[in-house]
Structure 1
Amino acid sequence: MAPAQSLKPVADAVQPSRPIAPDVRIGHVHLKVADLDRALGFYCGVLGFQVMQRYGADAAFVSAGGYHHHIGLNTWESRGGSPPPPRSTGLFHTAILYPTRAALADALRRVIAAGIALDGASDHGVSEALYLRDPDENGVELYWDRPADLWPRTPTGELAMVTRRLDLDGLLRAE
């Protein structure tokens, strides 16, 4: 997560002349990986996604709940490759939204059981998030959103996100 001081307040941000449709969503992410089986071991074996379709050793499409795919994984330009070096541009992280706090707790249990280290864990007021890396060093955020009526706001009604330490023991007790 970027340091809080680097985030611009909404009033200082560039605003569009006409906003995007409010129901627009990001549908899926497609990642270049060095080893497809290793990537599937993480996304399916650890996080629990299902393989929807596989193209041999070249690509696979995985999903939660039977959707055609939430994550595409391919080796078309990256088989045997290495992660981008630090301080280079590219994807910061893929964020995977869990429907409940209990579902996020289950994800944390899976990550712990697999022996995967967390890069961080934050309470942002609007959400609780876990940060880690996949086997190709792609950043992964696992999070759940609090109900919008509980989001922190300024006295004038603007969103007031924070970055505080997440109580992992408390999260693990969520059911």
Structure 2
Amino acid sequence: MEIKELGHLVLYVKDIAASAHFYGEVLGWRRIAPPTGGESLGGAGIALFAADSGRTHHELLLIEVGERAAPIPAGRRLGLYHFGLKIGDSDDELREAVQRLREAGVPILGATDHHVSHSLYIADPDGNEIELYVDVPGVDWRSDPSLVLAPPKPLRL
């Protein structure tokens, strides 16, 4: 077996409307289904998203589990730490993201220079951490993979 690419991500969410707004309106993912409210998967509200690139049929599926679901525990734990979303190829695009996040009232948890990429860290309405990043132009990490493990430093935009 050989993994060809990361296909999609499925997240359980408390409130489908709030999460669909966050991923669709704030982060700008294209909502592909359901086109209107009311559709469900086994009685749960759902929302399906894809990037405009058309790379695959869907990249994110949200499934509503309601307010009584257990929250993500704080601190070091097993499971998902964060997932990364590439939003462009320049720091100007990161600056635009900062402005959009501020306008939407989304706190920025951190900003990091990873040498091969520049990243902002945020959380969705359920506390899932998300890395929004751009690749640094001119960095040839394919020829020198050790660059990926270089110690990170604070990012100054």
2:33 aligned with 1:46, yes or no? no
Contact 2:48 2:60 in 1 (8 A): yes
Matched residue, 1:36: 16
Q: Aligned with 1:37: secondary structure?
A: helix
Q: Which residue of 104, 113, 121 maps to 2:111?
A: 121
Displacement after TM superposition at 1:29 (Å) = 0.9
1:107 is displaced (CA, Å) by 2.0
Partners of 1:63 and 1:159 lie apart in 2 by 32
- One-letter amino acid of the counterpart of residue 94, structure 1: F
Q: For 2:153 and 2:73, how far apart are their aligned partners in 1?
A: 28
Instruction: Find the residue that maps to 2:81 and give its secondary structure.
Output: coil
CA distance in 2, matches of 1:126, 1:43: 25
CA distance, structure 2, for counterparts of residue 29 and residue 103 of structure 1: 24
Kept in 2, the 8 Å contact 1:151–1:159? The answer is no
**Residues 60, 141 of structure 1: CA spacing in aligned structure 2 closer, same or farther, 3 A cutoff?**
same
Q: Identical aligned pairs, as a percentage?
A: 33
Q: 2:83 aligns with which of 77, 94, 97?
A: 94
Count of residues in Structure 1 that have an aligned counterpart in Structure 2 = 143
Gaps of 5+ in 2: none
CA RMSD of aligned residues (A): 2.4
Q: Which amino acid aligns with 1:165?
A: P
**Structure 2: distance between partners of 1:165 and 1:151:** 21
More strand by share: 2
Aligned to 1:84: 72
Q: TM-score, normalised by structure 2?
A: 0.79
Gap runs ≥5 in structure 1 = 1-18, 169-175
Where does 1:1-175 land on structure 2 (aligned, <5 Å)?
20=2, 24-54=4-34, 55-56=39-40, 58-65=45-52, 67=54, 68-75=57-64, 78-80=65-67, 81-86=69-74, 87-101=76-90, 102-147=92-137, 149-151=138-140, 157-160=144-147, 161-168=150-157
Whether contact under 8 Å (1:131, 1:140) holds in the other structure is yes
Q: Which has the larger radius of gyration?
A: 1
Contact 2:72 2:126 in 1 (8 A): no
Instruction: List per-residue Cα deviations over 1:108-131 (Å, max 9, x = no partner).
Output: 221111121111100010000001
Cα shift at 1:82: 3.7
Once the two structures are TM-superposed, the CA of residue 104 in structure 1 deviates from its matched residue by 3.0
CA shift digits 1:3-40 (9 cap, x unpaired): xxxxxxxxxxxxxxxx956xx22122111101100001
Return the alpha-carbon distance in structure 1 between the equivalents of residues 53 and 135 of structure 2: 22
Distance 1:158 1:35, change over 3 A: closer
